[in-house]
Amino acid sequence: MTNLTMTGTTVPRRREASDERAMQGHILSTYNSLRFGMGLMAALTPVIVVLWGYSFRIPWQDSISAYYFAPSGNQWIYSSYPCRVFFVGTLFALGSFLYLYKGFSKREDWALNTAGICAVIVALFPMYAETGYIPLSNDVHFGAAIVLFLCMAYTAIFRHDDTLKMIPEAGLRKRYKILYNIVGWFMALFPVLGLIAAMSLQSAQRETFWIEAAGIWAFAAYWFIKSHELKTSQGDLKAATGAMSRSA
């Protein structure tokens, strides 16, 4: 009788533990997919705007932002500015993900929230069109873009220890730290260089496109590295199970 009672209580507990592990796995998969998705969207953006533009007879623009007002050479389409749909949609998606993503410290959350808001502002305030004038739009566009990348640079350079402390191997921690510092400084420097190039030249040149693309690819690299690091350290699992405390 005792054995039956013990067996009867053990089975539900095992099921509860199994359900709990399944739910934890679901949460971990969601967070990892979110990080990887942000990286993938960013990495593909410079490539897609060029290829998408070519498919609508739009020549290669001097900057990524210029695709907002790049007119199509094909009049038999639903929109005169087909790349605008992808450009704005991607920025809104990335902005939403950055704002909703919860990091491992309050300061990381503040930086990511600010970056997310700035991504939406970049979409809402396009750079000047060659055929028209939009008061202050250019300044807001470039200002929001710079703040976005500076927030991400801060996250990469100054907040990586929030999760790296969970990796016991000193050599591995050092390698991740080097990678975070590299992509962080890339994100900080390349958008500023792009702004300087755009303002100092008579008209934007192809160099501006590559400078912007480098900053975007550094943004993508950060999320790929973060995904790999947290998978290595099982940081998401430790956070989900309460095995680590949240930093300030």
Residue 88 has pLDDT above 50, yes or no: yes
Query: Which CATH number applies to 29-240?
Result: 1.20.1070
* Model pLDDT, residue 220: 98
User: Would the pLDDT of 105 be above 80?
Assistant: yes
Share of the chain above pLDDT 90, in %: 48
Query: Which helix (H) or strand (E) covers residue 132, if one does?
Result: none
Q: How far apart are CA 59 and CA 123, in angstroms?
A: 21
Higher pLDDT, residue 3 or 200: 200
Residue 4 has pLDDT above 50, yes or no: no
Rounded CA separation 191/105 (Å): 26
pTM of the predicted model as reported, rounded to 2 decimal places: 0.85
Q: How confident is the model at residue 1 (pLDDT cuts 50, 70, 90)?
A: very low
How deeply is 78 buried, as exposed, middle or buried, from its count of CB atoms within 10 A (0-12, 13-18, 19+)?
exposed
